[in-house]
Structures are given as structure tokens and as C-alpha cells.
Amino acid sequence: MSLSPDQLKQTLDSLPQAGCCYLAFSGGLDSCVLLHLLHELAPQLAYPLRAIHVHHGLQAGADAWQQHCEAVCAGYRIPLISLQLDLLPDKGDSLEAVAREARYKALAQQLSPGDLLLTAQHQDDQAETLLLQLLRGSGPAGLAAMPLLSEFSPGWLARPLLQESRRSIEAYAEEKGLVWQEDPSNQDQRFDRNFIRHSVMPLLHSRWPSASLTLARSARFSGEMSTLAREEMAVELERVQNALTGSLSVALLREMSSVRIRHLLRYWIDLNGAPMPNSKKLMRIEKESIHGREDAKPLIAWGGWEIRRYRDELILSESRSVEPLPERIIWQDKQKLELPAGLGTLVATNGSSGLNRARWQQGEIEVRFRQGGERCIPAGRGHHKTLKKLFQERGVPPWVRDQIPLIYIDGELAAVPGMLICDGFSVADGEQGVLVKISSGNTE
């Protein structure tokens, strides 16, 4: 039997130093084995150990599983945190996917910065995940399946049993006389993973006894290639990205091959926290937004995000609200104003520049949004210009302009926050002024 506390200790020593270590403890075979190993190692660990059990409320025996987890942890004198979920999946949602997402969200909320969460997935789980990803048409990142270590909320998620087979875990449990709970849903082959586990993997093992080992090895190789590709894309992104706006240069993208463009787009989109578009959307981004006509106005949207092109910029942003904006908003306290439609918060602070303080304090302050035809003499410019021209000079994309708040004092356009102050409203030399900024929102 290869599985041992010493072997686990070597794996744990390779992980980042944690403030606290948590085990996601379901009460099943795998997590019971990992908890026992951690209990054996407890005197040697440099951090406190706790277990977390998530009660999904989906099975009749869920209460008994929680009681089992409480009894096991009490016997080991390991603190247990029990979390209960109230899952309400929408019609058509995968119950398995909804439960997994809710479980990890609940686990993440327990971690402080730098904490470590351990889960008990093993080599056979890795092989099953690889097959699932292949059948979903995943690329290298998906085929990497589950990494040993990954960032997770404010801390880290580690899977220290990934090199262990299900057989070695079962052998350890039998030798130590461990008792665990069996989830009957694990036998339900309506779930894709269970079908692969109970119908596909036995057939593969009958022909290739080392199938789980070799599939897990392929996942590891895919992970290495994915890491290498991300490192290369990080260098490429620095070359083509505007450091101030985060947009990409269309001219530089056009010099790249299609394969390189798609890799870079995936990397860029992922870095911005957006969901990954499917392959058809990526092809449209390349064809319409990068190689499309100069006079076109391409828009590719998915999952609450969108990509547009303006001049030489490829711009990724959350989809803008279609909520109608009010004609005018009176800014009563002249300090802080929450804008509608998630456009952010206006904040007024003291500054050595900005709006004239006397006019600000004595006048009626309004916030309006562009209707067209607005004009202003920017302070120091000496002649009128339309806001349209001023926005063009500043490179403000057309679809953003109508959502930028405009500050009016006593009915006159006085300022565009963060952009300009109109003549007659700027602070006098040597006096303290009022700075108005947007603290958050999609117009920032």
C-alpha cells in the first residue's frame, strides 16, 4: 500500500504556507481517508486544521451524513463547520452543476486570505474529468482537468491525492477500518460522470489496465502546455494591450495568425473575469472585429459581456444597460450621488483644482445625460466645441457617450467628470476647488 501520512506530508510541504487548512469533508470514502491522513499528520502540521461539511439538502440521508461527519471529526478532535444550502435550480439547469457551484461558493466564503482548502479528488476522478472534457470539445485548458494547486477566492485549493488511485484509497480505508457514507446518487448513470465511472472506465480498464494512470498523465501534460501557452500569451498581451484602457490594438492583432489571435483572446477574456465565449463567437470576433471593414461597427455579445471595435481599439466590457436614463437628477447633498442603471457613484471632494467652490456651494447641481447638441468652452480653450467633438478628441467610444454623467450648475453645463471643466466654472488660482469623480461603474 503506497498511500501513507509521510507521502501526503511531502505533497503538503510543496504547497504554499497557509494560515489555516480546511478539508472539504463530505463523509464519503475519499474525504474520510484524507481526513484520517491529516489527523495522523496533525502534530507535524504548521497550521491549524479544520473540516467543512456542506449539507446540500438534496438527499433523504443528508442529515445522517452530517451527523456522521460530526461524529468522525469529534473523534479526531478536529473542528467541523457545517454549512446548509438551499438550492433552487432553474428549469433546465443541471442539478449536478448547480450543486457543485453552490458548494464551492459556500466553501470559498469560509476562507481568509492565504488559507488552504483541500479536496479529495484522486487519479480516477482526474481520468473521468479528462474524458468529460474531451466529450465537451474542450481545448488544452479544459483537458488539463484538475490541477494539484490553484488560486481559490482569497486562498488556495489543493488536491493532494491526485496521484493516488481509487484502489489505493480503498485499500488504506480497509486497513485502517474506516467507516464512510455512500451517496446513492453516485450510482445514478443519468449523470454523465457516473456513466463514465460505471460503464466507460471498466470497459477501458478491461482493455488497458492502466487507463486511469495514462489518462491522468495526459491531463498533466495538457496542464503543462496550457501553462506554457499562458506564459507566452502574457508576453504577447503586454505588447498589444493599451496599459491605460486595457483595450487591444487591432492593427497589431491583424499581424498575428488566427491560432495566435484566438489564444490571446481567450487569455485576455479570462484575465478580465468574463465567461469564455464559444468557438463560434471567437471566430466572429476575429472575422468581424479584427479583420472586418473599417467602417463597420461590430458587436459580439455573450453572457453579459461584449466586444466592440472603435478606431484601432478592441474593447471588452460588461454589456451596457438598456434601462432608460432620467432627463435630470438633482444632486441634493452635493457630496455623493448614486447613478442609475449601475453607472457608478459620483463623489465630490476637496481639491487644489476642479470646479469653483463658490458656484458649487451656491448653485443648483444637476446631473444629466447626453441628448445631443451639447456645447462647452473647455477651460483654457477659448472657443465652443460640441461634446461630440470633445468625446472624439478623447477617444471615447460612441456607445459609452450617452452614459457619461454631465454636471450642470444653475442649468449650465459645467463639467464632464474626469474629462473637462467648462469655461467660467473652474477654480481660481490659489483657491480650493471641488473635484467630481465617478468612483465605480461601467463608464469609468
* Per-residue pLDDT, 336: 94
User: What pTM, to 2 d.p., does this model score?
Assistant: 0.73
List the one residue out of 315, 318, 325 whose CA is nearest residue 303.
318
Measured over the CA atoms of residue 30, residue 36, residue 42 and residue 43, the dihedral's sign is: negative
The torsion angles phi and psi of 437, rounded to 5 degrees, stand at -130, 155
> Per-residue pLDDT averaged across 336-358, rounded?
91
* Per-residue 3-state assignment (H helix, E strand, C coil) for the chain: CCCCHHHHHHHHHCCCCCCCEEEECCCCHHHHHHHHHHHHHHHHCCCCEEEEEEECCCCCCHHHHHHHHHHHHHHHCCCEEEEECCCCCCCCCCHHHHHHHHHHHHHHCCCCCCCEEECCCCHHHHHHHHHHHHHCCCCHHHHCCCCCEEEECCEEEECCCCCCCHHHHHHHHHHHCCCCCCCHHHHCCCCHHHHHHHHHHHHHHHHCCCHHHHHHHHHHHHHHHHHHHHHHHHHHHHHHECCCCCCEEHHHHCCCCHHHHHHHHHHHHHHCCCCCCCHHHHHHHHHHHHCCCCCCCCEEEECCEEEEEECCEEEEEECCCCCCCCCEEECCCCCEEECHHHCCEEEEEEECCCEEHHHHHHCCEEEEECCCCCEECECCCCCCEEHHHHHHHHCCCHHHHCCCEEEEECCEEEEECCCEEECCCECCCCCCEEEEEECCCCCC
pLDDT tens-place string over residues 211-268: 999 999 999 999 999 889 999 999 999 999 999 889 999 999 999 999 999 999 999 9
pLDDT tens-place string over residues 182-215: 888 888 898 899 999 999 999 999 999 999 999 9
* Per-residue pLDDT, 429: 75
Confidence of residue 93 (pLDDT cuts 50, 70, 90): low
* Per-residue pLDDT, 89: 65
Gap between the Cα atoms of 428 and 417, Å rounded: 18
Contacts of 429 (CB under 8 A, 6+ apart): none
Long-range contact list for 168-173, CB < 8 A, 24+ apart? 168/1, 168/2, 168/3, 169/3, 169/29, 169/30, 169/33, 169/122, 170/29, 171/1, 171/3, 172/1, 172/3, 172/33, 172/36, 172/37, 173/29, 173/32, 173/33
Structural domains in the chain? 5-213 (3.40.50.620), 241-318 (1.20.59.20), 328-438 (no CATH)
Q: Over 70: is that where the pLDDT of 442 sits?
A: no
β-sheet bridge partners, residue 320: none
* Per-residue pLDDT, 1: 46
> Per-residue pLDDT averaged across 74-99, rounded?
82
Amino acid sitting at position 369: F
The torsion angles phi and psi of 190, rounded to 5 degrees, stand at -70, -25
Q: Does residue 441 contact residue 343 with C-beta atoms inside 8 Å? A: yes
> Per-residue pLDDT averaged across 144-170, rounded?
93
* Per-residue pLDDT, 444: 43
Contacts of 346 (CB under 8 A, 6+ apart): 331, 336, 337, 339, 367, 405, 417, 436, 437, 438, 439
Q: Over 80: is that where the pLDDT of 320 sits?
A: no
Measured over the CA atoms of residue 329, residue 330, residue 334 and residue 338, the dihedral's sign is: negative
pLDDT tens-place string over residues 388-431: 999 998 889 998 899 999 999 999 999 999 899 999 899 877 78
What's the mean pLDDT when you consider all of the chain?
91
* Per-residue pLDDT, 110: 93
Instruction: Select the more confidently predicted residue: 94 or 347.
Output: 347
pLDDT tens-place string over residues 38-67: 999 999 998 999 999 998 777 777 889 999
Contacts of 129 (CB under 8 A, 6+ apart): 145, 146, 219
* Per-residue pLDDT, 92: 66
pLDDT tens-place string over residues 270-299: 999 999 999 999 999 999 999 999 889 999
* Per-residue pLDDT, 421: 93
List the one residue out of 379, 385, 383, 382 whose CA is nearest residue 428.
379
> Per-residue pLDDT averaged across 322-329, rounded?
87
Longest dimension (CA), the chain: 88
Gap between the Cα atoms of 51 and 118, Å rounded: 9
The C-alpha cell that represents 294 in the structure block = 473599417
* Per-residue pLDDT, 214: 95
List the one residue out of 316, 325, 324, 329 whose CA is nearest residue 289.
316
List the one residue out of 95, 23, 90 whose CA is nearest residue 57.
95
Q: Over 80: is that where the pLDDT of 94 sits?
A: no
CA distances from 166 to 6, 69, 287, 353 (A): 19, 21, 47, 68
